[in-house]
Amino acid sequence: GADAHCQALAAAAGRGSATWHAYLSTQGSSAVNARDRIGSGPWYNARGQRVAQNLGELHGDTIEQARVGNALGKQFSLTEKTAVVNGVGDTPNQHDILTGTQPDGRAYSDGDHTCNNWTSNGQGTAQLGHSDKQGGGNSSWNSAHPSRGCSQPNLVSTGGAGLLYCFAVTP
């Protein structure tokens, strides 16, 4: 699954000693919130730069935490190999990141925002975040807009490449 994919990417980059989870929500009677899968922080990107101190800072839970914000954005939302993800103004734009998540890190209770709980590669939609926090409208890192579908061509045409946020789980 997605967690194993994150673990493999981390291992290939020499960071496999930590436990890695994909930042993904699932829906339905056994819904899982993405924010509940990644520990309590702090989190760092592949260059060792702090992204957020805790869940509140990551998601802007309070007015003060929202003011402080997280460091995610084009220069901090990196691949496991420390590369910047192509965003607005780059070719191809790949800033859409699969999350299935609302801005507060919690699962949706309506409709399909997770490509049928990450089992569909055709019909449905996935909620996407913008790794560069750009693109008009709600440019949230974790909940900007839905995909055009669940297939790889649909994800590419929306502005992505099927990428995930991977977090080292913290106690």
Q: Would you list the DSSP string of 91-131?
A: SS---EEE--B-TTSPBPSSS-SBHHHHT-SSSS-BEEEET
Confidence of residue 171 (pLDDT cuts 50, 70, 90): low
Statement: residue 137 has pLDDT above 70: no
pLDDT digits (tens, 9 = 90+) for 139-153: 799 999 999 999 999
Residue 68: beta bridge partners? none
Domain total of the chain: 1
Model pLDDT, residue 40:
96
pLDDT > 90? residue 94: yes
DSSP conformation class of 20: E
Q: What is the pLDDT of residues 29-83, one digit of tens each?
A: 999 999 999 999 999 999 999 999 999 999 999 989 988 889 999 999 999 999 9
CATH of the domain at 7: 3.10.100
| Percent of the chain whose predicted confidence (pLDDT) is above 90 | 91
Which is nearest to 23 in space by CA: 13, 10, 33? Answer: 33
Range of the domain at 93: 2-168
Which whole number is the average pLDDT over 90-105? 96
